[in-house]
Structure 1
Amino acid sequence: MSYMTTRAVSHGQRVKSLYKEALRAIETTKLFRLDYRFAAVQIRAEFDKHKDERDMEKIDKLIADTKEKIFLTVPKTKQFEHCPRGIAHGRYDVSPDMVFDFYHPLEKAAYPKYFAKRELAKRDHILWWEKTYGNTESHAKN
């Protein structure tokens, strides 16, 4: 899930993300599970009370009021470690798959099943690529 919005967000998506944000907010403030569930049921009832509202000005006001209430009552919302703005986001480098191509044969011999399966997957991918896009090596020579 991307944290940057790159397309128009529908009203339903706005309401769903606000509901999830409200649940995350009370999750950070409630210590006991039963207290959290009770508050979650209250929030759900509040959202259900306004589900048939059709006046967009009133809906926008409700959304803005809810966001302000979350902002004022919650000191810090829950952040997951590996998500953007989390404490471990981008901490570990992920090596590209091509690194395995440069392994020494003795290193590959330690995991024969894995590297045999990998070679089959590489071959299948090359065949799929050539079937889909054609042979790119013949175009590069021309």
Structure 2
Amino acid sequence: MAAAYLTHHQKVLRLYKKSLRHIESWCIFRDKYSFYACLLRARFDENKHEKDMMKATMMLKAGEEEFWANQHPQPYLFPDSPGGTSYERYECYKVSDKVKCTYQYFYHLEEKEKKKKLLWSFLFIVQNFGRKTLPYISGTRFSLVHLCCCTFTSHYFKEAMNPKCFCTRAE
């Protein structure tokens, strides 16, 4: 099956995103990057409502040529993106779905252990740094409301391991 052609709108969006990424590579400081990003956005917004497709296509071509002339010689790449330093680095360590289905019990235990470690790290942070630091912790499966308003008892540990646990107590 052949891939679909990109629409003019998609090409413009991709040019805008590429341009922003290269501005990010040129500008080290965030305030300078924000300034140039606003200027770039203003240039794109000037011609946003262009009805003549021939003129719009010519502007897109001119924009791509300008991008090519001004692109960064060594742009920043995210480590896990194609061309990044660790792209597909850990692919050989990933377990196939067939193996996971065969050994479901062990993967279930592993998930429980991950939850326990996460909970113990939260307890350590709360005991040593107080409850004010909890809103700054992200990337977890536990709700911060649940952690803030529940008491840390053995009953809580049993409930925290249960994904159906919903906190009803208010502080």
Q: TM above 0.5, one fold?
A: yes
TM-score norm. by structure 1 comes to: 0.63
Tell me the equivalent position of 2:98: 98
Tell me the equivalent position of 2:82: 84
1:79 corresponds to which letter in structure 2? L
Unaligned ranges ≥5, structure 2: 113-171
Deviation at 1:102, TM superposition (A): 5.0
Deviation at 1:109, TM superposition (A): 9.8
Deviation at 1:52, TM superposition (A): 1.7
RMSD in angstroms over aligned alpha carbons? 2.7
Q: Does 1:24 align with 2:21?
A: yes
For 1:112 and 1:87, the matched residues in 2 are separated by: 29
Deviation at 1:55, TM superposition (A): 2.2
TM-score norm. by structure 2 comes to: 0.53
- Over 3 Å counting, the alpha-carbon distance change for 1:43 and 1:61 in structure 2 is same
Q: Whose relative contact order is higher, 1 or 2, with alpha carbons under 8 Å and at least 6 apart? A: 1
1:98 corresponds to which letter in structure 2? K
% same residue: 32
- Over 3 Å counting, the alpha-carbon distance change for 1:13 and 1:96 in structure 2 is same
Equivalent residue of 2:73, what SS?
coil
For 2:108 and 2:46, the matched residues in 1 are separated by: 62
Unaligned ranges ≥5, structure 1: 115-142
